């Protein structure tokens, strides 16, 4: 089932989501929600989707970065972003620990802000302690693009959006990103936008 994705301005996107108990996670209704969120994420398409984005204030997100999403990116851009396929993951009640002091910046978009992207600084490495789709404890250590996706989705669970962290001067339509910035390196983009490198 494809769920409706809530757009920026919906109050549910700005509230703190509530944790789920292990017994709630195993309920058929929660398992159906996870399956519907996965289907909705694929349909969008996107690499992550948090429950608040489908109108439910729950500490639950799904993530999957498929190889097919990377087919238009050059090997150099994939290496710069440290982007590799990520198998389907369910994160529930996540606790995020930033494991690198240095931040890296790349353009991010969001299914709740369709058609827009901006440069967003994020930690390069993270650790996420959470429960999985069966309510079992799990620790995820991630770097590069995977770490970025985790940080983006966990922000949703705290009522934050990438626009709260972005370099505002870099906000642009997806069409203009493709036209002007897509093939350029981040240092070159920052120089052209006159952002501190």
126-153 confidence digits (pLDDT tens) = 999 999 999 999 999 999 999 999 999 9
Q: How does residue 101 score in pLDDT terms, banded at 50, 70 and 90?
A: confident
pLDDT for 21 equals 96
Task: List the one residue out of 151, 138, 131, 137 whose CA is nearest residue 20.
Answer: 131
Rounded to an integer, the average pLDDT of 170-186 is: 92
DSSP 8-state secondary structure symbol assigned to residue 136:
-
Confirm whether 105 is a catalytic residue: no
pLDDT at 171 over 80: yes
pLDDT for 197 equals 53
pLDDT at 106 over 70: yes
Q: How does residue 72 score in pLDDT terms, banded at 50, 70 and 90?
A: confident
Task: Tell me, rounded to whole angstroms, the distance of Cα 180 from its chain centroid.
Answer: 23
Residues facing residue 58 across a β-bridge: 18
Write 32-40 long-range contacts (CB < 8 A, 24+): 32/1, 33/60, 34/60, 34/62, 34/90, 34/133, 35/1, 36/1, 36/2, 36/3, 37/3, 37/62, 38/62, 38/64, 38/88, 39/1, 39/2, 40/1, 40/2, 40/3, 40/5
Q: Which residue has the higher pLDDT, 183 or 155?
A: 155
Helices marked H in 139-194: 144-157, 174-176, 186-192
For strands 172-173 and 116-123, give the pairing.
antiparallel
Burial environment of residue 84 by CB neighbours within 10 A (0 to 12, 13 to 18, 19 or more):
middle
pLDDT at 81 over 80: yes
Contact by Cβ (8 Å): 138, 130: yes
**Catalytic site residue from 64, 105, 108, 153:** 153
Q: List domains and CATH numbers for the chain.
A: 11-102+122-164 (3.90.45.10)
pLDDT for 39 equals 98
Counting residues of the chain whose pLDDT is more than 70, the rounded percentage is: 99
């Amino acid at each position: 089932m494809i769920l409706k994705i809530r757009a920026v301005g919906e109050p549910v996107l700005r509230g703190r989501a509530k944790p789920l108990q292990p017994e709630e996670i195993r309920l058929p209704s929660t398992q159906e929600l996870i399956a519907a969120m996965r289907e909705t994420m694929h349909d969008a398409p996107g690499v992550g989707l948090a429950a608040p984005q489908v109108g439910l204030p729950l500490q639950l997100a799904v993530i999957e970065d498929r190889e097919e999403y990377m087919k238009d990116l050059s090997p150099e851009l994939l290496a710069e972003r440290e982007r590799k396929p990520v198998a389907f993951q369910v994160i529930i009640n996540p606790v995020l620990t930033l494991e690198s002091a240095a931040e890296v910046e790349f353009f991010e978009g969001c299914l709740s802000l369709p058609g827009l992207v901006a440069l967003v600084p994020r930690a390069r490495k993270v650790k996420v302690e959470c429960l999985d789709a069966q309510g079992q404890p799990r620790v995820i250590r991630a770097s590069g693009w995977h770490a970025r996706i985790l940080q983006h989705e966990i922000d949703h669970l705290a009522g934050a959006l990438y626009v709260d962290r972005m370099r505002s001067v870099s906000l642009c339509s997806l069409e203009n990103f493709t036209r002007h910035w897509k093939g350029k390196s981040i240092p070159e983009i920052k120089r052209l936008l006159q952002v501190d490198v």
